[in-house]
Chains A and B, each alone.
Chain A
Amino acid sequence: MFTIISISILVVMIIALIRAILGPTLYDRILAVNVVGTKTVLLLSVLSVTAGRGDMVDIALVYALINFISVIAVLRFFEYNKEQQADVEQQ
Chain B
Amino acid sequence: MDIFLNVLSWICLLAGGFLGITGAVGLFRFPDFFTRLHAASVTDTLSTFLIIIGLMLQANSLMMIIKLLLVLLIIAYTSPTSAHSLAKSALHSGLKPFLKDKENQNS
Contact = CB atoms under 8 A, between A and B. Distances in A.
Interface string A31-69: 110110011011001101100101001101100110110
Contacts, number: 128
Given A12-B43, A72-B85, A32 B93 contact: no
Contacts of B52: 42, 45
The range of chain B's interface size is: 35 or more
A68 B86 CA distance: 12
A contact patch SS: helix
B24 A16 contact: yes
B contact patch SS: helix
Interface of B: 10, 13-14, 16-18, 20-21, 23-25, 27-28, 33, 36-37, 40, 43-44, 48, 51-52, 55, 58-61, 63-64, 67-68, 70-71, 74-75, 78-79, 81-82, 85-86, 89-90, 92-93, 95
